[in-house]
A and B are shown apart, each in its own frame.
Chain A
Amino acid sequence: MCVAQPMEVVEISADGKTGRARYMGSEFEIRMSLVAAVPGDYVLVHAGCAISEIKKSEAEEIEMILKLLEETANEP
């Protein structure tokens, strides 16, 4: 039930409460009131509602995780 998809914000309504976001080529109307995103940003969408902004790309995230692992490995 906690499944969520990353979507790209395409459009935001004037009051900022709703918007449209793209996922795998399709666009969906989503609730935007819980995030401060603008068109072009990526958000995590759960049950039709953006619940979090996505701050990094997958490549950046992998790099960050590996750095975390390296840091732990080098700890005394």
Chain B
Amino acid sequence: MNREALVGRINKFAGKVKIMEVCGTHTAAVDGFGLRALLPEGVSLVSGPGCPACVTTAEDIDRLVKLSENAQVWTFGDMVGIPGSVSSLAEARARGAEIKIMYSPFELAERAAQNPKKNFLLAAVGFETTVPVYASLLDTLVEKKISNVKIYTSLKTMPEAINAAAEKNAADAFICPGHVCAVTGYGFLERLCKKHKMPFVAAGFEDYHILAAICEIIRQIESNNFCVKNFYPSVVSKNGNETAQKAVDKYFCKTDAVWRGIGVIKNSGYALRKKFFEYNANLVYGKTSAEEKFFAGCRCAEVLMGGIRPNECGLFGGACRPECPKGACMASGEGACSIYYKGTVN
């Protein structure tokens, strides 16, 4: 069965199914390969909460902007345009704040070691894929006794978010994030499948991964027999990368987390362990508030839980565009609105 055969099989499906591609990288791949156009009317793909920058709260951005008054802030490029309640990090940079976009946090360790009198701050945002990288950075900071780096964490975990989406009936089936599963393993999907009785397929990011996942979901829907499948076997195993999991456990502990547009999801985040307080930039603040204010008319909250497609938002492509985002899903390159917009324009 080749790609054409997979598309042919999918198009024989006469029913209706709403599939959530949880991960922002999957949304980008679906758009990049033009897969949406290959699907029959009854098969709809909706985006989920799997873009870390998109689910970072305005309050977190406000705190990072404040922290940039006394430290050089390092972050991934996706983060700089995310709106805070007053400004984004990009706007703070325009006002003179030192905001650096990194490819890898290890660059930060080198720079901090070379400039011991300067304060550095890492905006640690991400899911299970990225948390081991931060743990590995902490190994370096501890080992090399680099003490001029603090870390502001807004880290989140996928199982609880996918569970929240399933509880809200956001979709009938889930294509689950392959790079998260590379670290965690796909064991958590079996717990979710048992609880929600719907298909959960771990998938990679090539067209054949996604088409095969959709094909498999359709088969399960037709047979009314649901199970977990791993369609990214080159990197995903049942138990995941246990070395990475141990590294994470050394530095971080699970905590409740506030997701932009979604609210508090219990036990869905990571915080630095008390033992590593000297690196913890969150300590000066209390817990983040679940109360959020959005730009009037912004429907990111619905986009993030598959409630609407980005182009159903009244601001999409008009007041809200990548160069002047009003919501986080348009500001991040892996946000569903930004991906849809680029697809529409191109």
* A interface residues (Cβ-Cβ under 8 A, vs B): 1-4, 31, 33-36, 44, 46-49, 51-58, 60-62, 64-66, 68-70, 72-73, 75
Contacts and interface: CB of A to CB of B under 8 A. Distances in A.
Interface string B75-100: 01010000000000000000000000
B177 A2 contact: yes
20 contacts: A1-B52, A2-B52, A2-B129, A2-B180, A31-B104, A31-B106, A34-B132, A46-B129, A48-B103, A48-B106, A51-B129, A51-B133, A51-B179, A55-B233, A65-B208, A65-B233, A68-B216, A68-B230, A72-B220, A72-B229
A35 B243 contact: yes
The winner among B23, B180, B234 for most chain A CB atoms within 10 A is B234
The winner among B133, B209, B243 for most chain A CB atoms within 10 A is B133
Given A49-B104, A49-B132, A55-B235, A1 B215 contact: no
B231 A68 contact: yes
Interface string B215-229: 110011001010001
Contacts of A1: 24, 51-53, 76, 78, 125-127, 129-130, 332, 334
Contacts of A2: 23-25, 50, 52, 126-127, 129-130, 177, 179-180
A56 B231 CA distance: 12
A55 B120 CA distance: 38
Contacts of A60: 234
B105 interface: yes
A56 B234 contact: yes
B129 to A, nearest CB: 4
The B contact surface, by secondary structure, is mixed
A48 B182 CA distance: 16
B219 to A, nearest CB: 5
Interface in B1-39: 1, 23-25
B133 A64 contact: no
Interface residues of B, number: 53
Contact of B103 (A47, A66, A69): A47
In the complex, the 8 A-B pairs of residues with the closest C-beta atoms, listed nearest first:
A48-B104, A52-B182, A56-B234, A2-B129, A49-B133, A2-B179, A34-B244, A61-B234
A65 to B, nearest CB: 5
Nearest to B103: A48
Contact of B235 (A3, A44, A66, A70): A44
Interface of B: 1, 23-25, 50-53, 76, 78, 103-107, 125-127, 129-130, 132-133, 136, 139, 177, 179-180, 182-183, 204, 206, 208-209, 212, 215-216, 219-220, 223, 225, 229-235, 241, 243-244, 247, 332, 334
Given A52-B235, A65-B231, 19 more contacts: A1-B52, A1-B78, A1-B130, A1-B332, A4-B179, A31-B106, A31-B136, A35-B241, A35-B243, A47-B76, A49-B132, A52-B183, A54-B235, A57-B234, A65-B212, A69-B215, A69-B219, A72-B229, A73-B219
